[in-house]
Amino acid sequence: MSSSDKSHRKLQSRNDRIVARWLWDSFIRHRMVFIIGALVLMVLEALTLGAFSYLVQPMFDDVLIEGDRGRVYVVAIAMAATFFGRGLARLAHKSLMAWQAELATAELQSRLLAHLISLDQGFFQRNAPGILIERVRGDSEALRRVFGNLITGFGRDGAALIVLMGVAFWTDWQWTLVALAGIPLLGIPLIAIQRLIRRRSAEARRAAAESSNRLDEAFHGIATLQLTGTEARELDRFSIIMRNFAAKITRAVIGQASVSTIMDFGAAIGFAMVLIVGGMQIIEGTRTVGQFMSFFTALGLLFDPMRRFTALTAEWQNILASLERTHQLLQVRSKVTNPPPPHLPAPARAQASVVLRDVDFAYDSEPVLTGLSFEAPAGKTTAIVGPSGAGKTTVFALLTRLADVSDGAVLIGGQDVRQMDLATLRRLFAVVSQDTALFDETIRDNILLGAPDAPEDALADALRAAHVDDFLPQLSNGIDTLAGPRGSNLSGGQRQRVAIARALLRNAPILLLDEATSALDSKSEALVQDALERLAQGRTTLVIAHRLSTVRKADQILVMDRGRVVERGDHASLLAQGGVYARLHALQFGDEAEQDAP
């Protein structure tokens, strides 16, 4: 074995101990009362197996061979009671462990979601939603198998092994040693197979994540697939992924199944040797048929839990592959963290100016902003325009600390946002973006998302100001109509107006508008634009816009290009400069631009 292999196995062993310790501390230790209760019931089930194999001897020797009529009823009742007790014990421990398995799995999935939604936006740019769904739902299923398969298996089959081994040794210790003589020889191939199972299981989990991600993208882009006629192409891509997944999961299953097969080889050798030795002793008259049948029953019952018990080591490798991925995911730390107290206080509405000072920012190694500096005065409207990819939306992410600057500082009211409490900071903002985020809840719930305790009269005012009340009568349940997944029950313009109503109701001192009217028709745009202008009064407002017609009235217009401000001023002064803004204006309005020029 090479030194690199030894180092890898040493590291893997260390990781396994870390994951096992995390599993114990987080999900098993505080459930030990229930687990111990279930284990007691498993021991009772195992004792019934021992009782059954023990009763085989009097059944053959006293009843069937000697013909003792009085013993018939005793043995029959004892056998029936054994099976009845086994059934009750099995039902009780399976129910108890299933209950704890579901609670633990739900706890882990909730913990994963709570952790993931605390991470910064850079993490979500590197990890697709479908893959994260599989990490939360798929990998966490391993915890259910810890309770349903692993603990139950070790408890039930371990107890059965001890009890049945005791019956076998009690009946004839020499026969028992003969039957088990070949088992130690199976150790080396079993260890090799377990390592193979670990690798194959990890590969299968990665392939499962890839398939979930492909499904997520297909369903979210279903309209595009249908309109472009690329359904067959998408199906081919998914089929390739699924064939790869099937191949990897099949290898993992074959590896697990081979463990039982190897145990069957050992059982075959043991049965054959006992039959030869025991058969000769019965022929010679030194052992009875009842003794042999009792031993043979115990041995037959013994090899089944022994096979399952050995297979549990392979199952543990499979479980570890998933739990290791889950544990690693929980170790990911957000690049955006809440600062330790004391926190800087939130500025008052009248002092909520926004300043970016020499800001650099990059997603991984790709620079987005370079030495960006500007000031958006409190109570004024600042528009940010420029070509796609100039870094406009990134500015909003830095203001709200969905991401943090690589260098420089973001100040609100003269205070560094990194020294403010995250929740307090984000309450300063109301946001309306071009990608309207609606959830599959009622329109009321979606609007109240940022202000759950808002009074009904404030809600009614927001509905009117955003012109949501214009389309509510057309819906089956009015404001209590479900918006649908991602707001799919509403048109683009309706979704945008719901988002604007949410921003109105939030009544925050800083308003961030990212193409807020982009999905509206001309009539609705004029109405909502008027509402937004009224909303902006007395608030610090930053507007991202590609359509320059929506920002002509801004107090200040910043023109961004390649991550920095290249021009600033109002509409008229920027046209007079004849620079980037004037060229963008000319592209959008043509001859009309010449009429606007001074």
Is there a single domain that holds both residue 410 and residue 449?
A: no
With a cut of 90, say whether residue 281 has pLDDT above it: no
The Cα–Cα gap between 430 and 26 comes to: 38
Same domain, 443 and 389: no
Could you tell me if 105 and 141 are in contact, meaning their C-beta atoms sit under 8 angstroms apart?
yes
Final residue of a domain: which of 465, 488, 507? 507
For residue 357, pLDDT over 90 is answered with yes
- CATH assignment of the domain containing 381: 3.40.50.300
Mean pLDDT computed over 531-536? 73
Residues 412, 473, single domain; the answer is no
Nearest partner of 118 among 509, 411, 368, 426, judged by Cα: 426
Which pLDDT does position 158 carry in this prediction? 80
The count of structural domains within the chain is 3
Q: Are residues 348 and 390 in the same domain?
A: yes
| Res 408: pLDDT | 92
CA atoms in the 13 A half-sphere facing the CB of 256: 20
| Confidence band of 598 (pLDDT split at 50, 70, 90) | very low
In this structure, is residue 544 part of a structural domain? yes
Tell me the three-class secondary structure of 300-363, residue by residue.
HHHHHHHHHHHHHHHHHHHHHHHHHHHHHHHHCCCCCCCCCCCCECCCCHHHCCEEEEEEEEEE
Choice between 338 and 520, residue whose per-residue pLDDT is larger: 338
Same domain, 273 and 379: no
Please tell me what DSSP assigns to residue 520.
S
Look up residue 139 and give its amino acid. D
Pick from 308, 306, 314: which is nearest to 195 by CA? 314
DSSP secondary structure code for residue 2 in this structure: -
Is residue 391 over pLDDT 80? yes
Label residue 411 by pLDDT band (50, 70, 90). very high
Q: Is 454 helix (H, G, I), strand (E, B) or coil?
A: coil
Choose one of 331, 366, 395: the last residue of a domain: 331
More confident residue, 374 or 307: 374
Quick check: 220 pLDDT over 50? yes
The amino acid at residue 136 is V
Segment of 6-20, 39-53, 335-349, 484-498 carrying the highest mean pLDDT:
335-349
Q: Poorest-confidence range of 76-80, 235-239, 568-572?
A: 76-80
pLDDT-based confidence at 61, cuts 50/70/90?
Answer: low
pLDDT at 435: 74
User: Do 293 and 215 share a domain, yes or no?
Assistant: yes
Helical axes 32-58 vs 289-331, angle rounded to 10°: 160
Cα distance between residue 443 and residue 468, in whole Å: 10
**pLDDT at 375 (0 to 100):** 92
User: Averaged over 386-406, what is the pLDDT?
Assistant: 86
**Which tens digits make up the pLDDT trace of 428-450?**
998 888 777 788 888 888 888 87
Choose the most confident range, by mean pLDDT, from 71-75, 124-128, 171-175: 124-128
Query: Within this chain, do residues 160 and 289 fall inside the same structural domain, yes or no?
Result: yes
Does a structural domain hold residue 524? no
How high is the pLDDT of residue 478?
87
Categorize the per-residue pLDDT at 373 as very low, low, confident or very high, splitting at 50, 70 and 90.
very high
Q: 53-57, 201-205, 531-535: which range is least confident on average?
A: 53-57
Higher-scoring residue by pLDDT: 205, 115: 115
For residue 595, pLDDT over 50 is answered with no
Residue 338 lies in a domain: no
Residue type at 541 in one-letter notation: T
58-62, 97-101, 309-313, 462-466: which has the highest mean pLDDT?
Answer: 97-101
Please state the φ and ψ torsions of residue 516, each to the nearest 5 degrees: -65, -25
Nearest CA-CA partner of 584 in 335, 296, 392, 358: 392
Question: What is the extent of the structural domain holding 470?
Answer: 430-507
Higher pLDDT, 245 or 96: 96
- Of the listed ranges 139-143, 538-542, 588-592, the one predicted with least confidence: 588-592
Quote the pLDDT of residue 591. 46
Mean pLDDT of all residues in 17-21: 88
How large a percentage of the chain has pLDDT more than 70? 76
Same domain, 353 and 440: no
pLDDT (0 to 100) of residue 407: 92
Give the confidence band of 593 by pLDDT, cuts at 50, 70, 90.
very low
Q: Is residue 133 part of a domain?
A: yes
Q: What is the pLDDT of residue 197?
A: 67
Query: Residue 542 has what pLDDT?
Result: 92
- Across the range 245-273, mean pLDDT stands at 68
**Are residue 327 and residue 357 in the same domain, yes or no?**
no
What string of H, E and C letters represents the secondary structure of 30-60?
A: HHHHHHHHHHHHHHHHHHHHHHHHHHHHHHH
Does the residue 474 lie in any domain?
Answer: yes
Same domain, 386 and 456: no
What digits encode the pLDDT tens for the residues 131-184? 888 888 878 888 888 888 888 888 888 887 787 777 777 777 776 677 666 566
Mean pLDDT on 215-219: 74
> Do residue 418 and residue 444 come from a single domain?
no
pLDDT reported for residue 228: 67
Find out whether 418 and 339 touch, Cβ atoms under 8 Å: yes
Mean pLDDT of the residues in the chain:
79
In a domain, 530, yes or no: no
Task: Tell me the per-residue pLDDT of 468-478, one tens digit each, with 9 for 90 and over.
Answer: 888 888 888 88
Residue 312 has pLDDT above 90, yes or no: no
Q: Which CATH number covers residue 267?
A: 1.20.1560.10
pTM: 0.73
Q: Chain-centre distance of CA 423, in angstroms?
A: 24
Kindly state whether residues 144 and 250 are assigned to the same domain. Answer: yes
Q: Is the pLDDT of residue 31 over 60?
A: yes
Q: What is the pLDDT of residue 68?
A: 58
Q: Report helix angle 152-171 to 32-58, nearest 10.
A: 30
Identify whether 172 is part of a domain. yes
